[in-house]
Chain A
Amino acid sequence: MSPRPLKLRRVSKPPVIAGMKPYGFTVKEKSTESVFLNLEEYESIRLCDHLMLHQCHAADIMGVSRPTFTRIYAAARIKIAEALVTGKQIIIEGGKVYFDNNWYSCNECGCYFNNPEPEIKPEKCPLCGSSNFTNYDLLPEEIDIEKASIKTVFQQNFCGRRRAGRRRGFENHQK
C-alpha cells in the first residue's frame, strides 16, 4: 500500500534568497556538494527561530499537525547544521507547499484570484471589475509579530503550552 499523500504546507511568502554559499575555506578540500532545504523546512525555521513562535502555533500557521511540524523542523535543523559544519552550500527549493501571498478574494462576485505580477497591485476584480476585494496576505497576528521586538514577543508567548492530559481525557480516567 502506498503511503498517505502529504498534506500541502502553507508558506506565507517565498524566501528572499534561492540559497547560500560558504566562503573562506580553512581546509584545502573545498566541499562542492550542496544541501537541499525544502521550502517547508525554510518556513519552519522562519516561524520557529526568526519569529520565535511556539511549535504548536507555527504548526497551526502551516496547516499541519504539531508532530508533523516537529519532524519538518528537526529535518531543517539537521540540514542547516550539516551545511554549517561541512561547508556545503544551501539550496532552498522543492517541498510540498503552496504560497499564500498574492491571492485575493472578491467580495462582490465571490471569486478568488491571484496576481501573477507581484510588483503591481491589482486595482479591480478580473471577473466583475469591482474594487471590493480583500487580500489573503500575512496573517494579522504575524504582521504584529514582525513589527514587535523579538524580546517582548518571546515573553508574551512564553509558556503558552496547552495541557495535553486534559484533552486526552486523563482526568476521567483517574475517576
Chain B
Amino acid sequence: MKIAITSVGNSIDSKIDQRFGRCEYFVIYDTDTGDIEILPNPNKDATGGAGPASVQLIASRNVQKIISGEFGAKVKPLLDSLKIQMVILKDPEKSIRDIISMLKH
C-alpha cells in the first residue's frame, strides 16, 4: 500500500508539512517494498485550487492514505469520493523518518 506524507524538505529527516495543498514536497512510501519516492509539489505557490490539483497528483500515483497536518474544505469531499484515507497529525516536530517508523509498528 502506498502512503503519501507531506514534507517541508526533500529528505526523510525533514519535518511533516502542516498543509496539504501547498506543502513543499510529497514523500510517497510503499509499505510492501519499503521504497521511498520524493515528489516536489508543483502547486505550492498556486493562488487557488492547490488542494484539488494536489489530490489529482496523489491519486495518479495510486496512493491509498495521506498523512498531513490539515486538509482543506475542497479536498475532504474529493478524497472521500476517491476512497483515500486522510490522517491528520498535528505535530509539526515529527520528521518523515519518525512517521515511517510509526507506520512499521
- Chain A residues within 8 Å of B, Cβ to Cβ: 8, 96, 98, 109-117, 126-129
Contacts and interface: CB of A to CB of B under 8 A. Distances in A.
B36 interface: no
Interface residues of B, number: 19
Given A8-B73, A98-B73, A116-B80, A126 B105 contact: no
Q: Is the interface of B mostly helix, strand, loop or mixed?
A: mixed
Contacts of B86: 113-114
Interface of B: 65, 67, 73, 76, 79-80, 83-91, 99, 102-103, 105
Contacts of B85: 113-116, 126
Q: Is the interface of A mostly helix, strand, loop or mixed?
A: loop
Contacts of A8: 73
B84 A116 contact: yes
18 contacts: A98-B73, A98-B76, A109-B89, A109-B102, A110-B90, A110-B91, A111-B67, A111-B89, A111-B90, A112-B87, A112-B90, A113-B87, A113-B88, A114-B80, A116-B79, A126-B85, A126-B87, A128-B102
